Amino acid sequence: MLQSTDIHRLKDFHATHFPGQVTPEITNVSGRAKDEPDLQHLPVPEVVDDLGFYQDGVKRTLTEEQVKMFRHSEIQRLLKERRVAREKEEKQRKRQALELERNTAKQHFDNHPKNSDNSVDTLMYDEQPDVVTEGGPATKTFLWPKLGGL
């Protein structure tokens, strides 16, 4: 059964949320289907609360299993945070080492430029040294590769 305050609240709700519509008549009818149990007269099950008290006198609200589960999840969270921090530090160290290596290589390149005084005349062709013959310039031969048995 609805109390008159509940009926009044329902009518106010309908008028607020459905303006322009006809407010239905809500009557205090106690008619129930035969299969519906009377909820007001059902016995309320007693809650067995034998969790006890903590040493400081505070009533316990969690079972030992719940406490273990919360501890486990907290430990897992802390381990994950440590693992992520360790991976982040390792990534940072690798990045710094790579940057240092690049800077060192760049400084070495800047401080020691290649010798560009090699001239074409001093290069070796077909592993034959330049030899000046008495009659003229050095002879250089190019060995063509043989293709496909021709």
Distance from the Cα of residue 127 to its chain's centroid: 59
Q: Are 124 and 131 in contact (CB under 8 A)?
A: no
First to last CA, the chain: 110
Q: What is the residue-averaged pLDDT of the chain? A: 77
Buried b (16+ CB within 10 A) or exposed e, 134-147: eeeeeeeeeeeeee
- Whether the predicted pLDDT of 85 surpasses 60: yes
Beta bridge partners of 136: 133
% the chain with pLDDT above 70? 62
Please check the confidence at residue 49 and state whether its pLDDT lies above 70. Answer: no
Token pair 């609200």 is found at 61
Answer yes or no: is pLDDT of 47 > 90: no
What is the pTM for the complete model shown? 0.35
Place of tokens 């530090």: 89
Query: Is it the case that residue 21 has pLDDT exceeding 70?
Result: yes
> What's the chain's length in residues?
150
